[in-house]
Amino acid sequence: MITTKLSGQKGIVVWLLGLSGAGKSTIAQLLEQHLTLNGYFSIRLDGDALRETVNKGLGFSDDERAENIRRTAEMASLLCANNVITICSLITPLNRHRDIARNILGDNYHEVFVDCPLEVCVGRDVKGLYQQAFKKEIRNFTGIGSSFEAPAQPWLTLQAHNTTAQECTAKLYNAILPLITAEVAQPGTQSPDLAEMAYYTETARR
């Protein structure tokens, strides 16, 4: 367990939610990279990666999704308490699921809705999951066999269908910057360079 808090930054939890294919993971990766470039320490908790490790064995029923989110929020809470900027990217489909994370994380919870229409996500289908869902090879897939509720009042909304991942990341970085530098010494605060982030996006896709 971490016993010494990081200095030079304030921990918060950035909780990216949205449909599969909306761009959550890409934006999370870009944000993590830009934070690192500016001297901040962050940890990214990706929903897919967690389901292969600490959340392995959980399915996609409503209750299992809730448990997936609860475990992730508890991990994020421990990290945030030690001034780690924690970036979570999970579908988090229902309002009651978001309430679980919100209740655990309190004021440290910053809900970011990566808004992208279902038809755009289906068109992207990078992982081929939507096609599997249409063929009924995957059950309870969000947006096809299971509901997704758009959040009523997210902390921030990123229009991922008509804005690039780099532009979304720049907007998000500038939004969290006052929060992670509050009452502590400020590392470099250079605004995101979109060309630089485009390079990282292409690198991440390889």
- pLDDT tens digits for range 54-113: 999 898 889 999 999 999 999 999 999 999 999 999 999 999 999 999 999 999 999 999
Which residues, other chains included, contact 8 with Cβ-Cβ below 8 Å and sequence gap of 6+?
Answer: 39, 184, 185, 186, 187
> To which CATH superfamily is domain 13-200 assigned?
P-loop containing nucleotide triphosphate hydrolases (3.40.50.300)
H helices of 7-164, where? 24-37, 47-51, 62-81, 95-105, 118-124, 129-134
Whole-model pTM: value is 0.85
Cα–Cα distance between 125 and 73 in angstroms, integer? Answer: 27
- pLDDT tens digits for range 110-133: 999 999 999 999 999 888 899 999
Domain boundaries, the chain: 13-200
Please tell me which residue, 121 or 204, carries the higher pLDDT value.
121
